[in-house]
Amino acid sequence: MGREPMRGQTDAAEHDENLYPAARLDAAREAATRAGLDALLICPGADLRYLTGYAALPLERLTCLVLSAEREPFLVVPALEEPAAHASPAGALGIEIAAWDETEDPYALVAARLSDRIGSVGIDNHMWAEKVMAFRAALPGARQELAGGVLSELRIRKSPREAEALRQAGAAIDRVHARMSEWLRPGRTEREVARDIAEAIVAEGHVRADFVIVGSGPNGASPHHEVSDRVIEAGDPVVVDIGGTTRDGYCSDSTRTYAAGEPPEEFRRLYEVLLTAQRAQTEAVRPGITAERLDAVGREIIANGGYGKNFVHRTGHGIGLEGHEEPYIVAGNERPLEPGMAFSIEPGIYLPGRFGARIEDIVLCTEDGGERLNLTSRELAVLE
Ligand code: ZN
Ligand code: ZN
């Protein structure tokens, strides 16, 4: 699903310097030096937006933020994008915006500004391969490495202003779930319901809907199902997993499972097991608990309820300027949680061919526990 920021947004929130503080540029330069990288090359995407606030569209023409220890940061942009770059929060950072003309070679321009002694460059993880290759040719002496680790370590702890942006995103998607009875009922197809939900995602405070999953009856047993033309039947359990991106660039993501009329008896039993697990996991969030322990808290409850082999995915993923980012709440991730980390808690139980259920909240790790950013009721909602 496309998660690239839109170009040319100039709303007030983007100009809030607390959301994109200039100090991040120095923090990134220092982190790069510690990682043994002489420079960072950052093209349009979440990393560029995090560092500058500039929601540039990825294009074939090169836009690239260059950070190195030896000189001041500069942002290379195509001449025709220069006004947009200046109008973005990047224009208020006090960095040089170097425009290149249509017939110039922007890679040579970057190389000429970096010293010959550059031995290694960190390339942002989502840079297009053709740009990576062009930088390789322009900087033949520089070893290329991924910059993702350096950037994700900065992005993994949200500032108070970022936490507020995620809180607003959570409230926006909660308003959509709160309206579900307007759309979800027997006789309508998943696709019809999803279309209404996508419209509401924008109407309730996002610039776009990133995904809409409506999995009714047996389709709910497939965690990767999106939508189909299946007609929702009376008594169907329906998994609704939805998210969008707000003007600030921060993502929402919340799942609730509904029943289109009284569901089968076993579904109610399964749902109680799932709800107990998801509640226990959200309550277990605190600094110091490891990601894998948090995963296990829910997995043990679901296994004891008899559905261990039906919880087929990790518990959750981090969220911020991207819908999926560090930290991942998964077995094998021994990293202790820290205040400022934000991630989903989304256990699910899936009975192939019959039905499934998932409950998902975004949770922020605080100094002394966890704060749920999705607050709609987690009880099974039976819509008549
Ligand atoms: Zn989700
Ligand atoms: Zn999720």
> How large is the average pLDDT for residues 155-176?
98
> Does 318 share its domain with 219?
yes
Q: Quote the pLDDT of residue 16.
A: 53
Domain that holds residue 79: 17-154
pLDDT digits (tens, 9 = 90+) for 6-23: 444 444 444 455 899 999
pLDDT at 74 over 60: yes
Residue 3 lies in a domain: no
Nearest ligand, measured from the Cα of 344: 2
pLDDT digits (tens, 9 = 90+) for 337-367: 999 999 999 999 999 999 999 999 999 999 9
> Does 116 share its domain with 220?
no
Nearest ligand, measured from the Cα of 242: 1
> Does 226 share its domain with 320?
yes
> Does 144 share its domain with 127?
yes
Residue 235 lies in a domain: yes
Position with higher pLDDT, 57 vs 352: 352
Q: How far apart are CA 380 and CA 307, in angstroms?
A: 18
Q: Quote the pLDDT of residue 13.
A: 47
> Does 272 share its domain with 345?
yes
- From 154, 184, 201, the end of a domain falls on 154
Q: Quote the pLDDT of residue 116.
A: 79
> How large is the average pLDDT for residues 45-65?
96
pTM of the model: 0.93
- From 132, 154, 176, the end of a domain falls on 154
Nearest ligand, measured from the Cα of 210: 1
Position with higher pLDDT, 30 vs 1: 30
- Helix then strand count (H, E) for the chain reads 10, 17
User: In angstroms, what is the span from residue 344 Cα to ligand 2's centroid?
Assistant: 6
User: In angstroms, what is the span from residue 214 Cα to ligand 1's centroid?
Assistant: 11
Residue 1 lies in a domain: no
pLDDT at 48 over 50: yes
User: In angstroms, what is the span from residue 186 Cα to ligand 1's centroid?
Assistant: 23
Q: Quote the pLDDT of residue 17.
A: 52
CATH number at residue 260: 3.90.230.10
> Does 188 share its domain with 319?
yes
> Does 165 share its domain with 253?
yes
> How large is the average pLDDT for residues 97-118?
94
> Does 250 share its domain with 230?
yes
> Does 205 share its domain with 131?
no
> Does 243 share its domain with 322?
yes
Number of independent structural domains in the chain: 2
Residue 285 lies in a domain: yes
Q: How far apart are CA 350 and CA 241, in angstroms?
A: 14
User: In angstroms, what is the span from residue 359 Cα to ligand 1's centroid?
Assistant: 9
Q: Is 348 left (phi over 0), alpha (psi -120 to 50) or beta?
A: beta
pLDDT at 230 over 50: yes
The residues placing their C-beta within 5 Å of ligand 2, an ion, are 253, 344
pLDDT digits (tens, 9 = 90+) for 254-299: 999 999 999 999 999 999 999 999 999 999 999 999 999 999 999 9
> Does 146 share its domain with 200?
no
Nearest ligand, measured from the Cα of 243: 1
DSSP secondary structure string, 253-294? -EEEEEEESSPPHHHHHHHHHHHHHHHHHHHH--TT-BHHHH
**Are the C-beta atoms of 253 and 323 separated by less than 8 Å?**
yes
Residue 42 lies in a domain: yes
**Are the C-beta atoms of 242 and 376 separated by less than 8 Å?**
no
Residue 4 lies in a domain: no
**Summary mean pLDDT of the chain:** 94
Query: Pairing between strand 361-365 and 355-358?
Result: unpaired
Residue 70 lies in a domain: yes
Residue 243 lies in a domain: yes
Please report which confidence band the pLDDT of residue 223 belongs to, taking 50, 70 and 90 as the band edges: confident
- From 154, 183, 214, the end of a domain falls on 154
Nearest ligand, measured from the Cα of 254: 1
Percent of the chain with pLDDT over 70: 96
**Are the C-beta atoms of 242 and 167 separated by less than 8 Å?**
no
Q: Is 45 left (phi over 0), alpha (psi -120 to 50) or beta?
A: left
CATH number at residue 39: 3.40.350.10
> Does 227 share its domain with 123?
no
pLDDT at 249 over 50: yes
